[in-house]
Structure 1
């Protein structure tokens, strides 16, 4: 089934782990009514609407978008976006990741509950996106291309932040409930290594456990404990690339019992931590220039 009249994508072959790096960027003309979601992503996405219309849904709110509007998708936040049936939008996008991204966006006023920006200069945005895509398509020195693309990404973020700060754009406010859910997401993402219970989180935010669970699932598609499990397992995968022992990794992601951690990780990946690490080592050996 056709989803786009036209689509093109440029992929970064040399993103740096942990750094703010572009993953891929593209431009598309979806067909009438084409939608994505409700779903969560594991990276950040900025969409700039070039023409036409559509809607963006996040944290229980719906935002109509037209040419010159932008919307930002945050990892692990349930979103949906859909092209108009009568005047489907065209847009360009950039996907990126990095440990400092959330803090960088927050400092310029872009948060999950303020993720729509109006009034972008399309000529300026088109120029920056064109240069960004040219950077990631460099085949001679992809590492330099990655660095250059990160620079253009920061300029795009600057432009979005400037609209927040200097043009006073206002956004439809989300309810207190969904702002609290954002706090819960941050709490789980930052304190995954501690012993956390849904009762403690609900008490901290002033909610009954069942009410918090319902709101959290509506926003993310997962219960709070399912979300915490996902955060812990993804962090464990990262740590398994290093030299920590299984017991040390277990403790680092909130499990005092290494055996219980092993069972949980097997449920997550279908492999024990030791098997997962062995596969990583084998992949690394295969990719070594000496082979």
Structure 2
């Protein structure tokens, strides 16, 4: 009988030192992520074990010391590649943050940075990302502990400036190393795509009102195609059929109200899920934890 080294555990958290980003410290054994996408750059570093994931039509394996970056909006999965599972740290970095940093490094306006599908095997980069993530997590824990001790004082956490400098230096070092060594540009990756405007029109229609019922015929009419061709075009461009893509968008849109303290039932209704259990089931598949536990982190 094989004894798993890792358990299913996930902690999502945030830090003012990386505004708008979500960060994850996790290990998984049984959990498997169904096809999904994120609005941010997904920047993981595998610290132990190995993860396999399907991405851009191929199955990839990311072992300890590797950095399997996923571009924003691109569909992928995730599950264990070895019997013991895997442990990793992840930064979900907003598009604007990484885009701005790329332009600052270049000293001019730059296109969106983009990353190839292959797993990045750069042990030095992995060490830098892991160190930055650990320092950010330690700082977040310190802030939380100080706030718990002085809950009624605005901005009570007061991390020493020297510590903040060290954390920010490590973060900038890790992200700039990733960009300078491994980033390409979005334009170069996409090239010219005659059908891209049609896909964007369908995305806009799907996103306009997440609670409104839509039919494939509505999407097809908006772009002047048959339902069959509209669905095929959308699926080829995004990796998901329209209904699944819209479900992922609903989950992304649920994060802000959950973070603001809205109840799970309220968020489920506001984002167009049929009921709370339906929302919870999809949320757990994407984030590895139910929404209530994600909200409490």
1:100 equivalent in alignment to 2:99? no
Q: Which residue of 2 aligns with 1:78?
A: 75
CA distance in 1, matches of 2:84, 2:248: 41
2:181 equivalent among 159, 163, 168: 163
For residues 1-20 of structure 1, the aligned pairs below 5 Å read 4-5=6-7, 7=9, 9=11, 11-12=13-14, 20=19
Structure 2 unmatched runs, 5+ = 103-109, 147-154, 209-217, 258-268, 275-297
**Who is 2:240 aligned against?**
220
How many residue pairs align between the two structures? 223
Change (3 A) 1:118 1:180: farther
Structure 1, unaligned runs of 5 or more: 169-173, 239-264, 271-291
Change (3 A) 1:132 1:228: closer
After the TM superposition, which residues 171-210 of structure 1 pair with which residues of structure 2 at under 5 Å, given as runs?
Answer: 198=220, 208-210=229-231
Is the alpha carbon distance of 1:68 and 1:132 closer, same or farther for their aligned partners in structure 2, counting shifts above 3 Å? same
Q: What CA distance in whole angstroms lies between the structure 1 residues aligned with 2:7 and 2:76? A: 23
| 1:31-46 mapped onto 2 (5 Å cutoff) | 31=29, 34-41=31-38, 43-46=40-43
User: Tell me, what secondary structure is at the counterpart of 2:68?
Assistant: strand
**Aligned equivalents of 2:53, 2:179: Cα separation in 1:** 19
| TM-score (norm: length of structure 1) | 0.52
Deviation per CA, 1:96-119: give whole Å up to 9, x if none. Answer: 4x46146457857435x6474221
CA distance in 2, matches of 1:91, 1:41: 17
Q: Does the 8 A contact of 1:136 with 1:142 survive in 2?
A: no
3-state SS of 1:52 partner:
strand
Aligned residue for 2:134, secondary structure, equals helix
Tell me the alpha carbon deviations over residues 120-173 of structure 1, each in whole angstroms, 9 at most, x when there is no partner.
Answer: 42433332222121222223457877x8777654433212223216xx9xxxxx
Q: Is the 8 A contact 1:73 1:115 kept in 2?
A: no
Matches within 5 A, 1:208-287: 208-216=229-237, 219-223=239-243, 227=246, 268=272
Provide the secondary structure at the position in 2 that maps to 1:220.
coil
SS at match of 2:92: strand
Greater displacement, 120-129 / 180-189: 180-189
Task: Name the counterpart of 1:54.
Answer: 51
Query: Are residues 200 and 183 of structure 1, via their aligned partners in 2, closer, same or farther at CA, if it must alter by over 3 Å?
Result: same
Distance 1:143 1:110, change over 3 A: farther
Question: Which secondary structure does the structure 2 equivalent of 1:21 belong to?
Answer: coil
1:25-81 deviation line (CA, Å, top 9, x unaligned): 3143x22x6422223345543211123322122232322222222123455533201
Task: Say whether residues 1:134 and 2:131 are aligned partners.
Answer: no
TM-score (norm 2): 0.51
**How far apart in 2 are the matches of 1:202 and 1:150?**
49
Verify the 8 A CA contact 1:53 1:88 in the aligned structure 2: yes
> Residue 69 of structure 2 aligns to a residue in which SS?
strand
Question: Where do residues 118-133 of structure 1 align in structure 2 (5 Å cutoff)?
Answer: 118-121=121-124, 122-133=126-137
